[in-house]
Amino acid sequence: MHKRIANLNTRSELLRRLRQFFYDREFVEVETPLLASEVIPELHIEPCGVGCKWLQASPELHMKRLLAEGMSAFFQITRSFRGGERGRLHHPEFTIVEWYRADDDMRQGMTLLDELVQTLLKTPPARCTTYSEAFQTHLGICPHTASSAELENCAVAEGIVNPQGLVRTNRDEWLNLLLATRIEPLLGRQEPEILCEYPASQAALAKLVTRENGIRVAERFELYWRGIELANGYHELTAAAELRARLVQVNQARIAEGRPELPLPESLLAAMEQGLPNSAGCALGFDRLVMLAVGAESLGEVIAFTESKE
């Protein structure tokens, strides 16, 4: 019990320092709704419904509307909700830190994230590794050009059992499996590591660019420390039509998996049609950050109450 109280005291201090980090850089703190009639559909995240509304899986929808209205540098510390997420690193209700800054590109977004983690965890500067470099280094395969059969052969060679329900012809499912089981545990072992330039098929809400080798990649980045994913960021997509098309595809994939279609965020799409500025945004799992700060083994050690302690 005394250890958990000490962890909660550390948590409070980290919250104070986190706010000061953003205040020092002239960010404005905002609050947005936890409950709304819209969500941003995601394939691997199940939102929690309350009546005819949804608890938000992140504040992204409303914060981007503020970005479209003219806010230029702002952050939020809030609660987020995701159905079916329980485990050492997951809890259905958790604390998320999310921020946006207009005129930033992917590199500037990565730099700000790195500065934040150095400030809060006293880590050395993060190293940057592209998604391709990670696969080449740890598995000897190119994630952008390998076929689904080649990725399956790689998984077999690594001793990975084909999970039930995995579509063998789906490249992204193989990539996600290889990343989660063979690469992520090795990321950020010596210093924090930022993985960037994801496959175009995994862009989510990030812009796409074509590199000199002709490969199309997403300007998406994630930060890992000691094998744990802490943050996910984008050089934000600004085209409303492209976002609508991506979200329709997500809903189609959800239906194919037997899960319900989700309402599109029409308020966000309308705001983007009026103009979303160039920006970089990022979301950080604060509970995981506290866990790493105090050397805890699970989120339950650094939050006041879990479902079993309510």
On the question of pLDDT at 68 being above 70, the answer is: yes
Counting the structural domains of the chain, the total is: 1
**What is residue 175's predicted lDDT score, i.e. its pLDDT?**
95
- Its domain, for residue 56, covers 2-126+191-309
**Among 109, 29, 45, 41, which residue's Cα sits nearest to residue 269?**
41
Q: Answer yes or no: is 80 within a domain.
A: yes
Question: Which has more pLDDT, 129 or 204?
Answer: 129
Q: Would you give the DSSP letter of residue 124?
A: P
- Range name among 64-78, 125-139, 156-170, 195-209 with the lowest pLDDT average: 156-170
The residue assigned the tokens 């329709």 is 248
In a domain, 131, yes or no: no
* Helical residues (DSSP H) of 25-97, grouped into ranges: 60-69
Phi/psi class of residue 197: alpha, beta or left (left: φ > 0; alpha: ψ in -120 to 50)?
Answer: left
308 pLDDT exceeds 70?
no
310 vs 269: CA distance, rounded Å? 38
Mean pLDDT of the chain: 93
CATH code for the domain in which residue 296 is found:
3.30.930.10
**What is d(CA 62, CA 96) in angstroms, rounded to the nearest whole number?**
14
Residue 293 lies in a domain: yes
Report whether 266 contacts 61 (CB < 8 A).
no
Is 263 in contact with 37 (CB distance < 8 Å)? yes
- Per-residue model confidence (pLDDT) at position 161: 81
Q: Does residue 150 belong to any structural domain of this protein? A: no
Residue 305: pLDDT over 90: no
- pLDDT surpasses 70 at 1: no
The token pair at 235 is 């050089």
Which of 198, 5, 230 lies closest to 97, judged by CA? 230
Reduced to 3 DSSP states, what percent helix, strand and coil does the chain have, rounded to the nearest 5?
40, 25, 35
Task: Measure CA of the first residue to CA of the last residue in the chain; give whole Å.
Answer: 15
Determine whether 5 is exposed, middle or buried from the number of CB atoms within 10 Å of its CB (0-12, 13-18, 19+): exposed
Give the pLDDT confidence score for residue 140 in this predicted structure.
Answer: 96
**pLDDT at residue 309 tops 50:** no
- Are 187 and 230 in contact by the 8 Å Cβ rule? The answer is no
> Under a CB-based contact definition with an 8 Å cutoff, are residues 247 and 41 in contact?
yes
Does residue 225 form part of some domain?
Answer: yes
pTM assigned to the model: 0.94
Does 247 map to a domain? yes
Query: C-alpha distances in angstroms, 62 versus 75, 85, 228, 231?
Result: 12, 23, 27, 19
Q: What is the mean pLDDT of residues 134-140?
A: 96
Tell me: pLDDT of 122 over 60. Answer: yes
Using an 8 Å Cβ cutoff, are 136 and 142 in contact? Answer: yes
Q: Do the beta carbons of residue 278 and residue 102 sit within 8 Å? A: yes
Identify the DSSP state of 143: T
What band does 233 get if pLDDT is binned at 50, 70 and 90?
Answer: very high
Do the domain assignments include residue 67? Answer: yes
